[in-house]
């Protein structure tokens, strides 16, 4: 098996992993719950492996197509946040669900969105080149969005200490290590070999994170399903309306079909596993339900992507546009 084969097979791999995790979690709940101790190290490994694949040192390449980048940023950081604000008004009286939904819906995906874009006949190379810009901007803007959309609740719901610690340890540190590793790989064959070996790991690491997270938390999803019901219409609303934000931005900048599909997939696909550590760092009274809300969005989104890869190229951006 080649790396390309592994990467192009990742969608069925993830669906099989989710199925096995749900089955294991429901059939052996005590054993599955013990998987929770692996969540933090598994996410740290995933972040490092994933960041190694992001071309941070070629940031200018991601900035070269200005029309694409402008549409991408408009969709993800202006139109989608406005949509999320409107959709989450129904959760204002439920702080745990609100902060969980905001965490996951305000952060555009930087990993498997590239694969979904490719399957959906979008420009996956442009999508990959833009990932450093998307990551850096979402990390900078997320605290701003949370402060504005949570309002007075932000001081109660988000304690800065654990939140910042999780942000630094599980996102910033792996990102810095990945950038340093990539820079050293250009001058050292040993480090280059290390880089090549880690290039095989994003898909297995993502599958591992999905398994330990969903396996250890699925009983909480089932137990709290009545509490989670108010967030389900929010996620379904996002599933239906977020592609339209990508379409609007793409048409404003008159993008060709393949490029517009990339923007549409980016606007519709969220960064659930990256923000999960931040949800797990919330105060105890909101942590469990917020993290479960993040996981629930992953399950809804994976189903939605199967719809997107068929409808976006066929109906939203048919060939020839």
- Angstrom distances, CA of residue 321 to CA of 32, 116, 131: 49, 20, 25
Instruction: Tell which residue, 234, 245, 267, 244, has the closest CA to residue 100.
Output: 234
Q: Name the H helices within 224-271.
A: 225-228, 232-252, 257-268
Query: Mind listing the pLDDT tens digit of every residue in the chain (321 residues)?
Result: 777 788 778 778 888 998 999 999 999 999 998 998 888 888 888 888 888 877 776 666 556 788 999 999 999 999 999 999 999 999 988 988 999 999 999 999 887 788 788 888 898 888 888 888 888 888 889 888 998 998 766 665 666 676 677 777 777 888 889 889 988 998 899 999 998 898 888 889 888 988 998 898 888 888 888 889 999 999 999 999 999 999 999 999 999 999 999 999 999 999 877 788 788 888 877 888 888 898 889 889 988 988 898 889 887 767 555
Q: Is residue 321 part of a domain?
A: no
Q: Is residue 17 part of a domain?
A: yes
Q: Is residue 52 part of a domain?
A: yes
- Structurally, how many domains does the chain consist of? 1
- Here the tokens at position 204 are 């297995």
Q: Is residue 251 part of a domain?
A: yes
User: How many Å separate Cα 292 from the centre of its chain?
Assistant: 15
Please tell me the total number of residues recorded for the chain in this structure: 321
**What's the confidence (pLDDT) of residue 62?**
57
Cα separation of 160 and 247, whole Å? 36
Q: Is residue 236 part of a domain?
A: yes
74: domain CATH number? 1.20.1530.20
Q: Is residue 123 part of a domain?
A: yes
Q: Any idea of the CA torsion for 17, 19, 21, 22, to the nearest 10 degrees?
A: 160
Q: Is residue 319 part of a domain?
A: no
Which residues form the domain of 58? 3-313
**What's the confidence (pLDDT) of residue 84?**
97
**What's the confidence (pLDDT) of residue 169?**
79
Q: Is residue 237 part of a domain?
A: yes
Q: Map tokens 């810095």 to a residue.
A: 176
Read off the pTM: 0.83
Instruction: Tell which residue, 234, 266, 237, has the closest CA to residue 249.
Output: 266
């Amino acid at each position: 098996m080649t790396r390309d084969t592994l990467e192009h097979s990742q969608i069925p791999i993830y669906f099989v992993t989710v199925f096995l995790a749900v089955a294991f979690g429901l059939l052996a709940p005590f054993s599955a719950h013990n998987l929770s101790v692996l969540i933090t190290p598994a996410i740290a490994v995933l972040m490092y492996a994933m960041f190694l694949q992001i071309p941070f040192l070629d940031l200018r390449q991601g900035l070269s197509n200005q029309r694409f980048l402008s549409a991408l940023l408009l969709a993800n950081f202006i139109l989608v946040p406005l949509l999320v604000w409107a959709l989450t008004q129904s959760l204002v009286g439920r702080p745990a669900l609100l902060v969980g939904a905001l965490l996951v819906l305000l952060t555009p995906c930087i990993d498997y969105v590239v694969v979904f874009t490719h399957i959906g006949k979008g420009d996956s190379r442009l999508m990959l080149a833009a990932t450093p810009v998307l990551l850096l901007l979402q990390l900078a803007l997320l605290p701003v969005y949370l402060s504005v959309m949570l309002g007075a609740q932000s001081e109660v719901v988000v304690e800065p200490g654990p939140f910042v610690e999780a942000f630094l340890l599980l996102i910033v540190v792996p990102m810095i290590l990945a950038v340093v590793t990539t820079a050293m790989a250009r001058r050292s064959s040993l480090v280059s070999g290390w880089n090549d070996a880690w290039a095989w790991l994003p898909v297995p690491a993502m599958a591992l994170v999905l398994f330990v997270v969903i396996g250890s938390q699925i009983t909480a999803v089932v137990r709290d399903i009545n509490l989670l019901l108010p967030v389900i219409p929010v996620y379904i609303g996002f599933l239906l309306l977020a592609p339209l934000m990508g379409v609007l931005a793409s048409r404003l900048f008159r993008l060709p079909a393949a490029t517009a599909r990339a923007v549409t997939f980016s606007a519709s696909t969220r960064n659930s596993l990256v923000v999960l550590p931040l949800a797990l760092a919330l105060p105890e009274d909101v942590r469990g339900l917020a993290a479960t809300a993040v996981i629930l969005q992953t399950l809804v989104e994976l189903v939605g992507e199967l719809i997107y890869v068929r409808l976006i190229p066929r109906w939203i951006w048919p060939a020839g546009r």
